[in-house]
Amino acid sequence: MGHHVTTIETRSIHRRKTIDRHGLSLTFFLLLLYCTSARAQVEEQTVGTTTFTVSTSLGFNTFALGDVRDFYSGLLEEFRANNIPIPTQREFPGNLIIGVDILYSIPSIADVGLGSRYTWTRAFSLYKDYSGTLDVNGKVAMLSLEGIIQRDITTEGIVDVYAGLRGGLVLGWSKFSQKSVFYDFPDQNSEILLSGNGKGYSVEGFMGIKRRVGNIAFGVSAGYRYARVSEMDADFSLNGQTQDSGTLLLRHDLSGFTMCVHVDIVLE
């Protein structure tokens, strides 16, 4: 690490474009169509017990992040090309996902409601030698606000089996930092930060099983989430001072597999 190399540059920030929301519009159209047809069916069904359910979830999910991974790997490759063999210690692995849903049961039809989930992932790379240290980190996080519809497939066994669809708005954040420390030249120490936030959409199909004991239900579910944030409002800063602001045209593909454990409280 004999000389200072700057790799996170303002060329990553460009003019803003409109985020594609066609996937989100289609999701809500399908939900509306389903609920409209369900309304016609419910008039012919025997009136059952309506319930509200508060569902908490904790699980694990993966991330695609193709362009984000390429961007982060590109930063490291520039250092390696300048004879700084910085290793990749961690690069956006799967991580925890936590969430809360509120569902309303339409007897003999489906459960509908709203939910929110949060998850994040990180990348770490650290290099040390006689002259100093180089630390390159990345973080991506997402918060979803979604409409939910799910329906029981069977309730005749020990457990209930259900399937459903959830989709809506995704709020995404990302941060890439590069910190350089020089032992003999402390006046050349620097910290570069590129951070951004943006909106996108998500759609997830899932299946699960649950068993109710009194007013408490326990279950597990698995699914696949398609989620994407096409661009972000971003800031580029050096040593804590903002140097430039604009739009980061870096597609954040937050799609991945999900698996959650649920604890539900049923309110009748």
pLDDT at 41 over 50: no
pLDDT number for residue 101: 97
pLDDT at 112 over 90: yes
pLDDT at 77 over 80: yes
pLDDT number for residue 205: 97
Residue 61 to residue 225: CA distance in whole angstroms: 9
The pLDDT > 70 percentage for the chain reads 82
Confidence of residue 44 (pLDDT cuts 50, 70, 90): very low
pLDDT average, residue stretch 160-171? 96
Q: What is the DSSP letter of 109?
A: T
pLDDT average, residue stretch 104-122? 94
pLDDT at 3 over 70: no
pLDDT number for residue 108: 83
- The two beta strands, 110-129 and 95-106, are antiparallel
pTM listed for this prediction: 0.80
pLDDT number for residue 155: 76
Confidence of residue 49 (pLDDT cuts 50, 70, 90): low
pLDDT number for residue 157: 80
Dihedral over Cα of 71, 72, 75, 76: its sign = negative
Beta-carbon contacts of 172 under 8 Å, excluding residues fewer than 6 positions away, are: 140, 141, 142, 197, 198, 199, 200, 229, 232, 252, 254
